[in-house]
Amino acid sequence: MPQTLRESVAPLVEHFFRHEAGRLVSVLIRIFGWRNFDLVEDMVQATLVDALQAWRHRGVPGNPSGWVHGVARNKILDALRRDKIGQRVVTEWAATLPTSQEGLDKQFLGSAIEDSQLRMIFACCHPRLARENQLALTLKTLCGFGVLEIGRALLVSEETVKKRIQRARRDLIDHEVSLDPPQDGDLAHRLDAVHQVLYLLFNEGYSSSKGDTAIRADLCEDAVWLCHLLCSQPRFSTPATHALMALMLFHAARLEARLDQHGGVLLMEEQDRAKWDHRLIRRAQEFLDRSAEGAVISPFHLEGAIACHHCMAPSYAETDWLAILHLYDALLKIHRSPVYLLNRAIVVAEIEGPHAGLHALREAGQDRALAQYYLYDATIGEFYRRAGEMDEAKQHLEAAKRKTPSSHDRAIIERRLAKCS
Amino acid sequence: MAKFLFVFRSDNDAHYKMTPDEMQQNHQRWVQWLGEGIQKGWVVDVGDGLSAEGRVVDAKKVVTDGPFVESKEVVGGFTIVQAGTIDAAAEIAKGCPMFQEGGTGGTVEVRPLWGFTMKN
């Protein structure tokens, strides 16, 4: 009597284990506290291993999350009963802790899990932690990535990732960062820190053309997902949150069209606009509309509006460069970032020609870090090429090629060099 | 056709070192392998996975927690398959996801079932 696998009826959603790990860690840390991070990680791992071994042969049960949470609840009750740490946790929390089966069940309701995850976002992105440690801790605890995977995504060693996570955990304990949601007076500051981390997370996945492509796409997806979580809570669903969401979705809409069939990166002017995800663009526009509700204009509003102009243009040539120029001017008033200056110069060149572009780049080039950036030389080279000064163009494009370790970036520069004759 | 029991033994530590995404890939490979077996007809009974806890009862009827074997030899599951010969069955076992990249490593014990292999 041959049996069919249940899997064929209900396959697991993508990254089920990873997202489940994030949910479980958030719920369990809320019960056991940061000090018992190791115990929590062991319990979460044991829960997932149980699921893996149980589902291998006969497939996935109808409600896989429910199944996993059931196992986790038993492991928690076991730890509270048997484990020394568990005993201590029970006494510490005697008045409020959900140590009974009933209390635990409440912690695993959908809304309670989301609440735990939101608390966790604010803890992982606490301003007391260094930015790179916030990022590593977020990826580990909320997104369920392994240390090696985080290293592959951020292009740092496994050791470095481990150190960053340990450092972040120590800082959380030393500064007694609680898992309580931020107070009203502190909210703007705390929320801004969260926005910055999510934006960085998204950019790590989107902007760099290095490392493992699949993991980097996951980073973008998770940044959007965490921002969605913020949007689900009225207190955190501010105009800046909506603007960040819009910005990420506009970029995400172009994610796949950015790559050619060999995984090489295509410039915006080379992309097939029909391949952009127009459903995502529409959703991004909705968020951008909602972001206009408040009086505050954040850099996310302006960057979102720029991305919107790019997504709305029927072709590269028909882009509303003048509108984009004004948006960059507004951005530079908030923050004189060399990267904004570089991007602004590209817009200037589109409006007034390559010589005006070169002139605009001069200020940006005074920033030493930017002058070391391959895109700075690549842009100068491209401006000279358009001006017909091929020797200068080649010289700068070659310099750009030497400055980037990425084969994808070098391929783009090669295409430009081929046009220099 | 004769029938065989596959006993899957693997290193428990290897399971505990997997990241969640690796677990999902591992899960997919198992489902694919056994699904293929059902389709091709060599799976008689997909069997089941075994929970880690257990009791061992001895001749004196003493019940102890167990089995507490070495971590590397934990029986994680079983499946009943059919094949023409034991060598053909062993050939099938070579396809087990434990041995593939990202697998946990371990062994598959291939044992003929008397009841099914005796010809009347």
Residue ranges of the domains in chain B?
A: 2-117
B/e letters for B76-108, b = 16+ CB within 10 Å, e = fewer, are bbbbbbbbeeeebbeebbeebbbeeeebbebbb
CB half-sphere exposure, A320, CA atoms < 13 A: 14
Q: What's the order of all strands across the beta sheet hosting B2-10?
A: B43-49, B74-83, B2-10, B107-112
* d(CA A319, nearest CA chain B) in Å: 40
Burial class (CB in 10 A: 0-12, 13-18, 19+), A327: buried
Question: Percentage of residues in chain B with pLDDT exceeding 90?
Answer: 64
Say yes or no for a CB contact (<8 Å) between B21 and A12: no
Helix, strand, or coil (residue B82): strand
> What's the confidence (pLDDT) of residue A6?
46
Say yes or no for a CB contact (<8 Å) between B21 and A146: yes
Single pTM value for the model: 0.86
Count contacts between A and B (CB, < 8 Å).
96
* A15 vs B contacts (CB less than 8 Å): 20-21, 24
By Cβ distance, the residue of A7, A53, A145 closest to B19 is: A145
Say what angle helices A110-124 and A184-206 make with each other, to 10 degrees. 80
- Cα–Cα distance for residue pair A171/A191, rounded to 1 Å: 19
Say yes or no for a CB contact (<8 Å) between A20 and B24: no
Contacts 24+ apart (CB under 8 A), A166-172: A167/A130, A167/A133, A168/A124, A168/A129, A168/A130, A168/A133, A168/A134, A168/A136, A168/A137, A169/A34, A169/A37, A169/A137, A171/A126, A171/A128, A171/A129, A171/A130, A171/A133, A172/A34, A172/A123, A172/A126, A172/A128, A172/A129
Tens-digit pLDDT profile for residues A293-345: 888 899 999 999 999 999 999 999 999 999 999 999 999 999 888 889 999 99
- In the predicted structure, residue A3 carries a pLDDT above the cut 50: no
Domains of chain A, residue spans? 320-421
Sign of CA dihedral A64, A68, A71, A73: negative
By Cβ distance, the residue of B15, B20, B41 closest to A18 is: B20
Please report where in the chains the tokens 């990202």 appear, as a residue.
Answer: B102
Please report where in the chains the tokens 């529409």 appear, as a residue.
Answer: A282
- In the predicted structure, residue A79 carries a pLDDT above the cut 80: yes
For B74, which residue in chain A has the nearest alpha carbon? A53
User: Is B22 within 8 Å of chain A by CB?
Assistant: yes
Average pLDDT in chain A: 89
Amino acid letter for position A157:
S
Q: How far is the first Cα of chain A from the last one, in angstroms, to the nearest whole number?
A: 72
| Residues A224/A248, Cβ–Cβ less than 8 Å | yes
Tens-digit pLDDT profile for residues A353-389: 999 999 999 878 888 888 888 889 999 999 999 999 9
CATH assignment, A320-421? 1.25.40.10
User: Is B95 within 8 Å of chain A by CB?
Assistant: no
Q: Which of residues 57-86 of A touch B (CB under 8 A)?
A: 57-59
Q: Tell me A259's DSSP state.
A: B
By Cβ distance, the residue of B21, B45, B48 closest to A17 is: B21
> What's the confidence (pLDDT) of residue A2?
41
CATH assignment, B2-117? 3.30.70.1060
Name residue B108's beta-bridge partners: B8
Amino acid letter for position A299:
P
- In the predicted structure, residue B97 carries a pLDDT above the cut 60: yes
